[in-house]
Every structure is written in structure tokens, then in C-alpha cells.
Chain A
Amino acid sequence: MDKLNQALDLFTEGLRSDPEIRLDIRKELQSHLEEKIAEETAQGHSNEESLELALKTFGSPVEVADGLAAANRRRMNFRARMRLLAGALLIPAVIICAFLSLGMASSFSLLDLVICGDKEWLDLSKKTFSFDLFRRYTPEEKLILNGDRTRKTNFEQQKAIWEKFPDNKIYAANYILSLIGWSYDGKNRDSTLSEIERVSRCEPDNALYNYLAAGILLKDACNQIELPRADRKAKPQYRFELKDRALLDKAMHEYLAGVNKKYCCSYTTDLLKQRLQIMGEADSLTGQLEQMAIGAGVILPHLNYFRESARYMPEYAGILIKEGKKQEALQYLNTWQQFIRHINTDSDYLITVLVTDAIARIDAEKLPLQYEKLGMTETAKTVATESESIHKPVQDWREARKQITEKTRLERGSILANMLLPGIDREFTGKELAPARYAEYVFCQKVTLSIINMALILGMIIAIGSAVYWRFRRGSRLLLLAPPPMTILKVLGFGVAVPCVVYFALSQIELFSGYDFGFRINGTRFATQMGLLLLLIPVIVLTCTGNYVSTRCRELGVETPTPSGKIQKIAIIIGLILLGIVAFTPLPKYPSPLTSTILIAGVVIIGVMFLLKIVHWSAELFVGRKYGTYYGAAARVLVLTLALAVLVLTCAFRPLLDWREAGYIREDKILFGSTESFTRIEGQVVRELKSRIDQAITKIREK
């Protein structure tokens, strides 16, 4: 049959540039000639005679070759252009998609923050894959966001902002708070005090600097020793111990100077607002979390100093009374309202309001004793009542919190809602909690999509490696199959569109999706749903592509391995169907440990089986010697179908998810979009409490 092969080679000589077309036509001609030979042999001719006769009636090899080349030239040219186009556009497009997919890395970096407490995470200017990929900050904006990162220590970095804008009160206060929060260790007292004094000159009416100086001096002037408690639950009692009287006098002078000033302002919220404004409106959950993290990164070292001043002021008055300096003592004691007013005006976080309240309670406990020592019993009673009235708003708020049933929040709240809302004295409805919950689901869907993309890209890399290996290393015949448009549509339709569309359709029905509940209840089921999607897409894309390549190779007469593992395939399909049924059955109120175990075990088992299959198949791509042409061709087609799958997933579904997430973020009225507190609702609570405390103080002052 060598002669037949030689003849077939001659007939198809003009098609050399397109191996698939050449093989296809060669096979067609071979089928024709073999039938003709069989017919001639049946009529009594020898094999050789039959071959001769068949070739003779077939015509001149040159004429046939020219005819075939001319007839197929247009098709071959078109395919050559398509190959070039695919090579030039597809790979760069996939690289862009991979880059966009890896954009989700910023969400994984949240783990860094939680687990490692990595401060670098907050450095937005250093982010490679920020949620706002194309946002470029000006050098000035970078400086305001992060300080000067070329400097070694945190406070020096923050100091750089003030140095750049020396008249700005916000940056001045930020520098001093950073200095105290990150650098002051008790040893560098004098230099710290001199820095505070230097900075305070740019804002002489702000009591903040006096209170900070007083706090620093008090730490060295006296000690507060906790007395042993009979009962653990009993309120802690302290013993005042004087270490350095001169320092105490100096500290209390600072305190008095502060109280007599017009206002006290730490500008922490103003700086936060500025920073968030520079970052722009975050329309993704990652962006919102980053903004919350920036808010959580605000340091409030001054609160401790405020409380120290409140604790020591009555003690100091007591010392003065003992020394007979009654007028001076009274002068200090009478400052309590003004001090609380100062602190309350500067309260923008729940923690600052609670510190204000703590100071009111210290006053209620300690001040009446000192007034009584001065013989002012009536005043003592009034002060006790008045400071209690300042404490009342927070007391009422605490009581209200105790009455809250947490059922709705626990069942329907998002993870974030359950982290940030327990302190809030309000019942939340399912409707109020829904947007943040949906945003979390969409976020997880985006992460799943990224993982699927990464898996597909990994598959592409393996396929490219295999194609190169077979071409250069093993010198296999180059066969580049060009799947027809319908085949490509079939692969993308069954492999990508159907699983995604079915999933999205089911996710719109609460009964199947369970999105009416939070992760606390629906978590396992949702994880299974995502796991199924994660498995189905690569499995179907690979299977459809593999089927096409096998069929085509058999048509072309290329040796193909016999399909194996049919039982394994059936087992995987049945497993996936069963898991699908369980994952999408209506949700029980709480998942039973049994269903959770079945779901997770199912995904893990099928995932492992699939992984083993992939590893086996990947190995085949490199070692199946006998079927080099087949594996080479399969690898090349896989590069195409996997790349197209990545493109469809990234270009069609990613924007859809981004759009839905942005919608939910905008819709939410509880958690997101706050520029002054961690959450919008906390801001509201703080404003209400602050206003009630302020009303109480005003009432006292009016009296």
C-alpha cells in the first residue's frame, strides 16, 4: 500500500500548508480509492492491478493536486488568517482576563489584614491589584492617604503630611496623635511635650494639646493602683499614689488651660473623610471593606489621656483641699461640665461617646465627695444628679440593647452585619439586612468566577506546554484542528453559558438559592452550589472539547486512544446530579449536621476524583507516545476553547456581577457608605447619643 500512500501524498501536495484540510481530503480520497480497489479486486484483478486501475481512472496526480489546491485555496487562506488573528489576539486577551481575574487578589489580601495584621495592606498607593484598578493618585493624594512611606516610622510618615501643609490643623493634630499613639513610650516625655507645644501654636484655641500634655505628665506624676476585689464582678476600685507633685501641678495646669479654651478637636473624622474622598466612592464590597479598614485604622490615643485627666482631677482637688487651698480646689472641681462638653463635641465614634459616658460616671462617683469635703453638700447632690443625667442617654441605650432579640440579624444578616451591628440598639428587618447580604453572595460568586478562570488558565498553560512539547521535543506531525463555529458555540454554550444561566436563574428563586438567609444558615449549601459551578464549567468544557477532537481525529484517520474510565465518568455525572439536587432543594430552617456533611463530603469526593482525572489526563498529554498527533491536536484545540471560555466568563459574567454588587452596595442603608463611622447606622447612633448628652449638658448649664 506504499504506492497508494505515495499517490495520496502527491494528490494532496498542494494542501501542505493546512495539515487538517490535507488530512481530511487525503482521507476522503483514500476512502474513494480503497472502495474502487475492492471493486476491481472483486472482478478478479490482483491487488496490484486493482490499484493501478484505480489510480488510472482517478486521473493525473498533477491535475488533481492543482485542482484540489485551487478549490481549497480560499478556505486555506481564511483559516491561515484566522490562526494568525487568534494567535495575535486571543493570548493577549486571555492575559488581560487573567489580570482582571487576579484583581480579586485584593479581596484575599483581607486575610492578610485579619491574620497577619499587615499594616502594608493599608498602603493603597502600593496596591497592584486594587479594586480601583485604573485609579492613579497624585503624589499629594498619596501623601495624604499614607504619609511619606520613604520614612522609617509611622509617626514620621504622618509628620510629613503636616510638614507639607504646615498651616493645616487636621494634619497637625494627626501628626501629634500619631506621635503619641506610635512613638511615645514614656521615655521621650520632654521631646514629645515640646513637639505638642510646637504644634499647638498653629491652633491656640484647641484644648486637645493641653489635655494630651496633661495626660502625658499625669502618667509620670502619679499611679493608680487597682485594689483587690472581693468579687470578680464587683466594680474595680483604685488607690491614688502620688509620685511627683511638681509634675502633677504642671499636668493640672495644662488641664485647666485646656478647659478654659474654646473647643477641643482631634480632627480624626475630618482626616478620615478627606482620605475616603480621595479614594472615591467604593461600589464593591472589597472597596467598602477597605474603607472600613481605613476607618478602623484611625488611632484614638487621646481617649485614654482624656480619661486619665478625669480620674486625677478630683484626686488633685482633694490634695488642694487638704492643703487648705479651697478656692483653687473649687476652681478645678467646677470644670467638670466644660470638660465633658469638650469631649462630647469631639465624639464621632461609638467608642468616644462611651469614653464621654465613662467620664460622666467617674464624675458622679468622685466629685460629690470632694464637694462635701468643702462643706457644699447641696452642690455635691446636684453634681451627682447632673452627672447622672449626662450618663442617662448611654444608660438608656444599653438598656435598649438588652431588649433586642437578635434572631432576624443572626438568620438574615450578612457576616459583616453580624460583626458590626451587635452594638446597635435597634431591631433590623430582613428587608434592611438584605442588600448587604446579597452583596456578600455576589462577592463570593465573583471569587468563584476568579477561581474558575484561574483553573481554566492553568489548563491553558498545561495545553500550551503539551503542544510545544509534542511539536519540538517529540517531533510529532503538526495538526492544528480548526473547530467549526457550531462546535465552538456548543462548547461555550454547554460548558459556560448553560451552567451559569441555570445557576443565575435558580439564584433568583429564594426557594432554591436560600439567599433570603445569611451564610450562618445557608453557608454550606451556598458553598456546595459554588463548588458545583466550579467543577461543572471546566468538566464540561474539557469533555466537549475532548469529544470534538476524538471524533475529528477518527475522521481524519489519526490514531486516537480508546476512551477509558466510562464508569468513572458516569459516577462523576451521577454524583454531580445528586449534589445538585441536594444543593438546590428548599432550605431547612437550620442545616442539619448530616446534610452539611453530605454536601461538603460530596463536593470534596467529586472534586478529588475530578482532580485525579485532570492529573491523569495532563500526564497523558505529555507521555502518550503512540498518540502524539492526537494529543498535540487536542492540546491546541484546548488552548482555543479554554481561552474562549475565560473570555466569555470574564466579559459576560464579571460585569454582570460587578453591576449587581454595586447596586446592592448603593441600596444598603445600614452598613455601607459612612464617611465618619465604621457603619452608617453607627454614625446615626453616635449622632443621637451625642445630641442627647449635649442636651443634658446644656440643661445643666442653663440652670
Chain B
Amino acid sequence: MAVNSDMMRGMAEPVILKLLNHKKMYGYEIIKVVNEKTDNAFQWKEGTLYPCLHRLEADGLIESEWEIADNGKPRKYYTLTKKGQAEMAAKVEEWSHFAQAVNTLLFA
């Protein structure tokens, strides 16, 4: 079942931070990983990922670097900064509380 895009908006940032916590990734790769892991549950408009990435970069939570990929083409890779790691932990904690509260309300 596809998730409503309005619901996605608030979740996008913690999801990106969490993904980048494991390894550096480029934009298209992030989309692919999210789709694979959620079985295309999130109907992301791919173009909206980039404003989100740039916002996080402007806040100093992630940083980017151009690298030449195996296919010889340049790709912009994003990595999590120290500030981003702390923010990611806080966001995950926050989301956990929120999900718990929503679950309590909806399924209790």
C-alpha cells in the first residue's frame, strides 16, 4: 500500500539521515534503497528528494562531495556530519515516541 506524500514529508529527513549513517550515498541511490526496503510503499516524487538533501546540507547535518563513479561519470555523494549523527539520533528517538503515541491512540 502506498503512503500518502503529505505523511512522507515529515519522515523524509530522519529517513535520509538514518540511511547516510551507514554509508555515503548519492541521490538516486537513496531513492532506490528506500524503494527496495519499503517495497515501493513510499510514492516519492524523486525530484523532491533534492531540496531535502540541500536543506540538510545547509543546516550542516550532511556534506557533499563529487566523485567519479565506476561508470566514469561524476556523482555527488552525501555523508553524515557529526552534527548530523546527533540530529539523527534525536529524530529517531522523537519518531519512536511519536509512533508509540499514534499507535496507542489508534490501536489501544
A64 contacts B75, C-beta separation under 8 Å: no
A32 contacts B55, C-beta separation under 8 Å: no
B51 contacts A68, C-beta separation under 8 Å: yes
- Complex: A420 Cα to B20 Cα, angstroms: 74
- Complex: A59 Cα to B50 Cα, angstroms: 11
| The residue from A29, A31, A72 contacting B58, defined by CB atoms under 8 A apart | A72
A36 contacts B50, C-beta separation under 8 Å: no
CB contacts (< 8 Å) of B46 on chain A: these are 32, 36, 57-59
Q: Tell me if B14 counts as interface (CB < 8 A to partner A).
A: no
- Complex: A34 Cα to B73 Cα, angstroms: 10
Q: Tell me if B48 counts as interface (CB < 8 A to partner A).
A: yes
Output the least CB separation between B96 and chain A (Å).
Answer: 27
A67 contacts B76, C-beta separation under 8 Å: no
B28 contacts A29, C-beta separation under 8 Å: no
- Complex: A555 Cα to B26 Cα, angstroms: 14
A31-B73, A71-B52, A74-B58 known; A11 and B66 CB under 8 Å? no
In the complex, the chain A residue whose C-beta lies closest to that of B73 is A31
In the complex, the chain B residue whose C-beta lies closest to that of A21 is B54
- Complex: A11 Cα to B48 Cα, angstroms: 11
B58 contacts A64, C-beta separation under 8 Å: no
CB contacts (< 8 Å) of B51 on chain A: these are 64, 67-68, 70-71
| The residue from A27, A64, A70, A72 contacting B47, defined by CB atoms under 8 A apart | A64
Name, among A35, A58, A63, A64, the residue most crowded by chain B CB atoms within 10 Å (CB to CB). Answer: A35
Q: Tell me if B23 counts as interface (CB < 8 A to partner A).
A: no
Name, among B46, B52, B75, B76, the residue most crowded by chain A CB atoms within 10 Å (CB to CB). Answer: B46
CB contacts (< 8 Å) of A29 on chain B: these are 47, 50
- Complex: A280 Cα to B74 Cα, angstroms: 64
In the complex, the chain A residue whose C-beta lies closest to that of B49 is A32
Q: Tell me if A60 counts as interface (CB < 8 A to partner B).
A: yes
CB contacts (< 8 Å) of B74 on chain A: these are 27, 31, 554-555, 557
CB contacts (< 8 Å) of B55 on chain A: these are 71
Output the least CB separation between A43 and chain B (Å).
Answer: 14
Q: Which positions 31-72 of chain B face chain A at CB distance < 8 Å? A: 45-48, 50-52, 54-55, 58, 66
A32 contacts B28, C-beta separation under 8 Å: yes
Q: How many A-B residue pairs have CB under 8 A?
A: 68
CB contacts (< 8 Å) of B28 on chain A: these are 31-32, 35-36
B45 contacts A57, C-beta separation under 8 Å: yes
CB contacts (< 8 Å) of B54 on chain A: these are 25, 68, 71-72, 75
CB contacts (< 8 Å) of B66 on chain A: these are 555
A31-B73, A32-B27 known; A63 and B47 CB under 8 Å? yes
| The residue from B27, B45, B73, B76 contacting A63, defined by CB atoms under 8 A apart | B45
Output the least CB separation between A23 and chain B (Å).
Answer: 12
In the complex, the chain A residue whose C-beta lies closest to that of B45 is A59
Looking at chain B's contact residues, the main secondary structure is helix
In the complex, the chain A residue whose C-beta lies closest to that of B50 is A68
Q: Tell me if A28 counts as interface (CB < 8 A to partner B).
A: yes
Interface string of A555-567 (1 = CB under 8 A from B): 1010000000000
Interface size on A, residues (CB 8 A): 27
CB contacts (< 8 Å) of B76 on chain A: these are 24, 27-28, 31
- Complex: A70 Cα to B48 Cα, angstroms: 12
CB contacts (< 8 Å) of B50 on chain A: these are 25, 28-29, 32, 64, 67-68, 71
A31 contacts B75, C-beta separation under 8 Å: yes
Output the least CB separation between B34 and chain A (Å).
Answer: 13
Q: Which positions 625-655 of chain A face chain B at CB distance < 8 Å? A: none
Output the least CB separation between A633 and chain B (Å).
Answer: 16
Output the least CB separation between B19 and chain A (Å).
Answer: 16
CB contacts (< 8 Å) of A36 on chain B: these are 28, 46
CB contacts (< 8 Å) of A35 on chain B: these are 28
A71-B52, A71-B54 known; A60 and B45 CB under 8 Å? yes
B27 contacts A64, C-beta separation under 8 Å: no
Output the least CB separation between A68 and chain B (Å).
Answer: 5
Output the least CB separation between B62 and chain A (Å).
Answer: 12
| The residue from B27, B48, B52, B58 contacting A28, defined by CB atoms under 8 A apart | B27
- Complex: A236 Cα to B52 Cα, angstroms: 102
CB contacts (< 8 Å) of A74 on chain B: these are 58
Interface string of B1-37 (1 = CB under 8 A from A): 0000000000000000000000000111000000000
In the complex, the chain B residue whose C-beta lies closest to that of A61 is B47
CB contacts (< 8 Å) of B75 on chain A: these are 31
CB contacts (< 8 Å) of A32 on chain B: these are 27-28, 46, 50
In the complex, the chain B residue whose C-beta lies closest to that of A76 is B58
CB contacts (< 8 Å) of A67 on chain B: these are 47-48, 50-52
A–B Cβ pairs within 8 angstroms, 7 of them = A11-B47, A24-B76, A28-B76, A59-B45, A64-B45, A67-B50, A75-B58
Q: A59-B47, A68-B54, A71-B50 are in contact. List 7 more A-B contacts (CB 8 A).
A: A32-B27, A32-B46, A36-B28, A60-B45, A64-B50, A67-B50, A75-B58
A residues with CB within 8 A of B: 11, 24-25, 27-29, 31-32, 34-36, 57-60, 63-64, 67-68, 70-72, 74-75, 554-555, 557
A-B pairs with the 7 shortest C-beta distances? Answer: A59-B45, A67-B51, A59-B47, A64-B47, A71-B54, A71-B51, A555-B66
